[in-house]
Chain A
C-alpha cells in the first residue's frame, strides 16, 4: 500500500514509540497536520516554536526518550534555533521536523523559505533535507538513531512540501547503517584497569560528575562505585541529581557558584575522576589552576571532549554505564576493607572546609530571601518533584538550595544558558508525567521570554507551578555590574514587569503572591494543592547575590564568599 509523505512521517513517529509531539502549524505542514487530525498521536499546540523545542527538550531530559517537535518552514523553522542550540549544548536527544518549501522552489527565496539545514548545521548533531519521499522512512529511522545513541543530541529533518504530498510504499527499515557513525560504547579494558589502579593508589581522589552520567542512566552504577571506593563526588550544574546530594560523600556543585569544599577539594585533589563532564569554563575557571596537582581520568563517550581543555592522563572513551559496570565487575576481586581508614585524612580535610564554609544566607523577617523560597519548596515538596529553572540567579539558587537525590529531576539550560527555557521545559516534563509535581524556578526577566505558554498550560490543564523569584532585576547581570562595574546598573532594572498574578489570571491560571517571609510557605502549599497551573510571585530581596562566586577567569579556589 502506498502512503503519502505526511502519513509516512506519522507512521515513523509511531514506530519510534513517540506518544506526544510539540508543534505549531503552517502552510507547508498542512498535510502533516491533516493526518494528525484523526491520529492517536498526541500533539501539544504551543504558542511559540521556541517553546515547542524546549518542551520536547524537557520531555527528553525527564524521560530519557527522544523529544519531538514539528514546525512549519521559514519563521517556524528559525524560531527553533535557540531550542536546538540549547539541546545541542546539553546533549539532549531530540528530533525536530521542519516543513520546507517544495524542492522545486528551494533556493528561489520562495515565500517562507529559510535554509534551515544551513542555519542549524552548527547547532544540531546532524540534519537532513529529505529530497525524495522514498528516502523519508530511512531518514526518520536514522534521525532517531542519531539523536539517541552515542553522545545524544538534536537532529533536524527538513521536509519539503512536495515530499509530504507525494506517495510511496512504506517500509520502515529494520536496521540503520551509517558508515561514518560508530560510537564507542565499551571502554578499553586496559584503560579501565589503569584507572582503577590509579584510584586505589590515590590519597585525595575526587569524582567530578557531569550530565553524561544522567544521559547514560549511570547514576546507580556511579553511586555504587563512589560508595564502594569512598570517593567524594562533586557535580556540575548538568550532573546535579546523578548522585544523592544528601549523601555524606556529596560535595555539592563545583565551579563558578560551586561550594567552598567542592572547589577546594578539586584544587587540592591528587586524582580527578571526570565522568561525563567536559571541563567547561564555568567549571574550571582559570584552567592552569584547575586541579593543578591531580592526575586526571576522563570517561566520556565523545572523544572530542577528552583533552580539549585539560590534559587527560587516563582517557577512556565509552558509555559511562558500560564502563562503570565493567569497573565494578573488576573491583569484585579487590579487598576494599581499608578504604575508609586510608581515606580518612582526606575526608577530615574536606570536613574542615565544610565546617569553615557552608552554603547559606542571612534570613530576614521583613523581606523574602530568594534562597529561602527555594529551601521551602524543597521542604514542602519533600524533593518529590521535577525542577526546571530559568537562567540567572534563580538558576544558581535552585542549584545550590534545592538538594536533589535523583537524576532526571533537574531541567536546566547549562551549556547555552537560555533564559526562557524553564517554563516550556516544565511543560514537556508535565506532559510526560501528568501526575508529578513540576516546578519552574524562574526569574522575573526570564519568565517574560516565554510567558505566552501560559495559554498552553491552561488549554491542556497542565498543572505546572511557576515560582518567580521576583527581584525586579536581571539579577545575575546586575550582580556582575555590582561587583565589576561599580554598581552601574545599566539596563538591568526590570521595574516594568507585568503584575504576574494578573498575568496568570488573564490566561486563566491561578496567580499567587508572597511579599513577606511568613507568607511563603502558605503560597507554596496553596499552589501545590491547586489542580492546575499556578504562577507564584515571590517578591524577594532585590539585591541579594549568589555566593560563593568565582570571578570570571580566576582560579576556582579564589572564591568570593559573600
Chain B
C-alpha cells in the first residue's frame, strides 16, 4: 500500500542524504520526495511517498525516527490529509490543438505560463487523481516534456504536524 509520510528534520548538512540513504540501504521504495525549509530556517519538512505492507511501513517510520536529525515523523495515511502536487507540462502546440489545450487548461484550473510558436507550457496543481486525469487527456495532444514537484501534504484539521 502507498503511504504519504511527512518528516520534520533539522536543516543540517547531509540530512537529505541520511534519509535517502536509509531508504536505499534498507531496500525501501521512494515514489516521490519533496523537501524545503519551514518557517524556521533551521527546520525543514519532507514529504515522502512510499510503498510497503504494514510491517515495512512500521519499520520505515521507526527507522526514520531513529535518525538523530529527524524531529518528527507522521504517517499521514493514519488520518485525513490534503495533498497537492504541481506539474509543468510543455505541450507541442499547433493551430489544430491550441483550442483544446486552452480548454483543458481551464477545466483543470491550470495556467499557461510560457508560450512559443510551437509550444505551450502548462502549470497544473492538484491531488493524485486530478494530475493523473489531466495527463491522460493531455497525452494524445503531444507532451514534449514534463516535470513534477512530487507530493506535498499536510494533516487536515487544526492539528500541527510539528
Residues of chain A touching chain B, judged by Cβ–Cβ distance below 8 Å, are 117-118, 121-122, 125-126, 129, 131, 146, 178-181, 302-304, 307-308
CB distance from A135 to the nearest CB of B (A): 11
Q: B10 near A180 (CB under 8 angstroms)?
A: yes
Docked pose: A330 CA to B9 CA in angstroms: 39
Q: B71 near A180 (CB under 8 angstroms)?
A: yes
Q: A122 near B21 (CB under 8 angstroms)?
A: yes
Q: A304 near B21 (CB under 8 angstroms)?
A: no
Please give me the residue from chain A that is nearest to B10 by CB atom.
A180
Give the residues in chain A near B58, CB-CB below 8 Å.
Answer: 307
Give the residues in chain B near A118, CB-CB below 8 Å.
Answer: 14, 17
Interface residues on B, range: 20 to 34
Given contacts A118-B17, A129-B13, A303-B65, contact A180 B70 (CB under 8 A): yes
* B32-67 interface bits toward A, Cβ cutoff 8 Å, 1 = contact, 0 = none: 000000000000000000000001001100110111
Q: B67 near A180 (CB under 8 angstroms)?
A: yes
Docked pose: A302 CA to B71 CA in angstroms: 17
Q: B62 near A304 (CB under 8 angstroms)?
A: yes
Docked pose: A303 CA to B61 CA in angstroms: 10
Q: B21 near A180 (CB under 8 angstroms)?
A: no
Q: A302 near B13 (CB under 8 angstroms)?
A: no
CB distance from B26 to the nearest CB of A (A): 9
CB distance from B100 to the nearest CB of A (A): 49
Q: Give the tally of cross-chain contacts (CB within 8 A).
A: 37
CB distance from A114 to the nearest CB of B (A): 15
Give the residues in chain A near B67, CB-CB below 8 Å.
Answer: 180
Q: A121 near B68 (CB under 8 angstroms)?
A: no
Give the residues in chain B near A181, CB-CB below 8 Å.
Answer: 68
Please give me the residue from chain A that is nearest to B15 by CB atom.
A180
New A-B pairs, 12, CB < 8 Å, besides A126-B68, A131-B13, A303-B62: A121-B17, A122-B21, A122-B25, A129-B13, A179-B10, A180-B68, A180-B69, A180-B71, A302-B66, A304-B62, A307-B55, A308-B59
Does B84 sit within 8 A of A, measured CB to CB? no
Give the residues in chain A near B111, CB-CB below 8 Å.
Answer: none
CB distance from B67 to the nearest CB of A (A): 7
Give the residues in chain B near A129, CB-CB below 8 Å.
Answer: 13-14
**B10, B13, B62, B69 pick with most chain A CB within 10 angstroms:** B62
Among A121, A180, A304, A307, point to the contact of B63 (Cβ < 8 A).
A304
* B60-89 interface bits toward A, Cβ cutoff 8 Å, 1 = contact, 0 = none: 001101111111000000000000000000
Q: A304 near B66 (CB under 8 angstroms)?
A: yes
Give the residues in chain A near B21, CB-CB below 8 Å.
Answer: 121-122
Docked pose: A326 CA to B67 CA in angstroms: 28
Docked pose: A181 CA to B17 CA in angstroms: 18
**What are 13 A-B residue pairs whose CB atoms fall within 8 Å in the complex?**
A122-B21, A125-B68, A131-B13, A179-B10, A179-B71, A180-B67, A180-B69, A180-B71, A302-B66, A303-B62, A303-B65, A303-B66, A304-B59
